[in-house]
Amino acid sequence: MRKPSLRLAMIAVAAGVFGCPVGLVLAQGNPPARPSVGGAPPQYAAPGYEPPEVPAAGPEAAAAEELPVLYVTSVEVLRTSAEPRLDIVRVTGLASSQGWSAPELVPTFAGKPLDDILDLQFIATSPLQSQAAEGFVPMGAVFTLEQDHPFRGVRVRASENVIEVTPMPGIKQANVTVDGCKDCIGKKFAERGQAQAGAGVVREEDLPKVLRWINPSRGIRGITHNPNRLNLILGDDNTIVQAYWE
């Protein structure tokens, strides 16, 4: 997903809905942090923020892309009391790893939807290189709708889930219980249905859906870079010896 096409989509939404060049304004601000999970507060993009270039290692390094954030954890629509009265969509979520930057909300399509629900994608600039699995990282973004917009609700999509708020203003939250594999190394991996939950065991059903495990006798086909895919390198007895996002 490339930034020019996303910007065009945003302009098209504005033109189609409001009949003017600027109708929906994407505002990256710094609202008070209120993460839906413990740990560090969400990372918000500042106005005019441009992520620094990160040097890639080796000729096979992938170019940075804007991709969906792994999970959305809350969507709150706030209505300002001063004129003009605006609706501000405030979103928090979880990135798979460190290395994600410039989170933002962009429309999934151009024009006014039949159901009058504004459909947004929660995206960010993905890491250039593989990242160690050290737990999910909070992120946040905001999106401002102008006065007298035609929408009755908003739907925000991440890579693995979606939250809808109807009517507006309002708030909805999601409790993410998936294991981010922060403490996986040294534990035994068990495929779905092969083990009970317990200390020293990492079960497939508790991990993110997009998952690849590689045992000692298995090769690796292809070099597809997917920063939302968890990879586990296993030892002879299914002990996890390495966990990373790629």
Instruction: Determine, yes or no, domain membership for 152.
Output: yes
pLDDT tens digit sequence for 205-221:
999 999 999 999 988 87
Of 173, 206, 230, the one marking the end of a domain is: 173
Residue 218 exposed, middle or buried by CB count within 10 Å (0-12, 13-18, 19+): exposed
Q: For the residues of 139-162, what is the DSSP string, one character each?
A: EEEEEEE-TT-S-SEEEEE-SS-E
pLDDT at residue 218 in the model: 87
| Short-list 178, 5, 10, CA closest to 93 | 178
Same domain, 150 and 211: no
pLDDT above 60: residue 80: yes
Instruction: Determine, yes or no, domain membership for 202.
Output: yes
Instruction: Determine, yes or no, domain membership for 67.
Output: yes
pLDDT above 60: residue 124: yes
**Average per-residue pLDDT for the chain:** 82
Same domain, 42 and 86: yes
Same domain, 50 and 115: yes
Give the H or E element holding residue 85.
Answer: none
φ/ψ bin of 160: left (φ > 0), alpha (ψ from -120 to 50), beta (otherwise): alpha
pLDDT tens digit sequence for 220-232:
877 778 999 999 9
Residue 105 exposed, middle or buried by CB count within 10 Å (0-12, 13-18, 19+): buried
Averaged pLDDT for residues 191-208: 94
Which CATH number fits the domain that encloses residue 208?
3.30.10
Of 173, 204, 227, the one marking the end of a domain is: 173
Same domain, 63 and 161: yes
Same domain, 31 and 144: yes
Same domain, 82 and 195: no
pLDDT above 90: residue 34: no
Same domain, 160 and 199: no
The pairing of beta strand 117-125 with beta strand 66-68: antiparallel
pLDDT above 70: residue 139: yes
Same domain, 219 and 142: no
Instruction: Determine, yes or no, domain membership for 62.
Output: yes
pLDDT above 80: residue 27: no
Quote the pTM value.
0.75
Instruction: Determine, yes or no, domain membership for 99.
Output: yes
As a whole-number percent, the residues of the chain with pLDDT over 70 amount to 74
Same domain, 163 and 220: no
Same domain, 202 and 162: no
- Alpha helices in the chain, H assignment, sequence order: 3-18
Same domain, 166 and 192: no
pLDDT tens digit sequence for 146-183:
999 999 999 999 999 999 999 999 999 999 999 999 99
- Identify the residue with better confidence: 54 or 201: 201
Residues spanned by the domain of 106: 3-173
Instruction: Determine, yes or no, domain membership for 183.
Output: no
Give the contacts of 182 (CB within 8 A, at least 6 positions apart).
Answer: 133, 134, 135
Give the chain's domain count: 2
Strands (E), the chain: 24-25, 43-44, 66-68, 71-79, 87-95, 101-107, 117-125, 131-132, 137-145, 153-157, 162-165, 170-173, 188-190, 201-203, 211-214, 230-234, 240-245
Of 173, 196, 219, the one marking the end of a domain is: 173
pLDDT tens digit sequence for 89-107:
999 999 999 999 999 999 9
As a whole-number percent, the residues of the chain with pLDDT over 90 amount to 66
Instruction: Determine, yes or no, domain membership for 225.
Output: yes
**Residue 54, both tokens:** 């990160």
Same domain, 67 and 134: yes
Instruction: Determine, yes or no, domain membership for 179.
Output: no
